[in-house]
Amino acid sequence: MSQRTKGLDPIIYDNTEILIIGTFPGKKSRDENQYYYDSRNQFWNIMSDVLNTDFLNLEYNDRINILQEYKIGLWDDIESCEIEGSLDKNIKEPEYNDFSHFTQVKKIICNGKAAEENYNKNDKKLTDVKVLRVPSSSSANNGSIGRFEQWKNAIIGQV
């Protein structure tokens, strides 16, 4: 039996209008307390392309500060769960995060199908927000055609 594991704290500010959510942070992210820490995950490459900024050569805090300038926050669907490793398929007994008090958010971008499915199961989700799904940035999802374009449309498109 695996031990209950807690996810990361939200990166959400008073000015956050776009919230990018994953399912649950991978092991490397949990160990380092940094979203998308695993270099195999394409998230920071995608953000570099979408926001025309070289995130890969920045320290984590600088990356987060730039996201804040663009009114983008980060969080996950699941607050805690039992999990071995990093794969979503290994998640058991999830407890969902409470999104309901982040009323400044206008758009939720789900990083992959599992993030969208979990968000829709959550009874503490935001209502009256636009919810979009983009292809997962996970290294387990290498075959998505047009991934960068879909992310760009979701983030840069009208709120």
Length of the chain: 159
Residue by residue, pLDDT tens for the chain (159 residues) are: 568 999 999 999 999 999 999 999 988 999 999 999 998 899 999 999 999 999 999 999 999 999 999 999 999 999 998 887 666 677 788 899 999 999 999 999 999 999 999 999 988 888 889 999 999 998 765 665 677 889 999 999 754
Q: Strand, helix or coil at 81?
A: strand
How many whole angstroms separate alpha carbon 26 and alpha carbon 33? 10
Tokens 């209950």 sit on residue: 4
State whether the Cα torsion 31-131-101-98 is positive or negative. negative
Could you say which DSSP state residue 3 is in? P
Alpha carbon dihedral 101, 59, 23, 152, in 10-degree steps, equals 90
Q: Are 69 and 92 in contact (CB under 8 A)?
A: no
Based on the structure, what is the number of domains in the chain? Answer: 1
CB count, 10 Å around CB of 49? Answer: 16
Q: Which domain holds residue 22?
A: 4-156
pTM of the model: 0.92
* CATH number for 62: 3.40.470.10
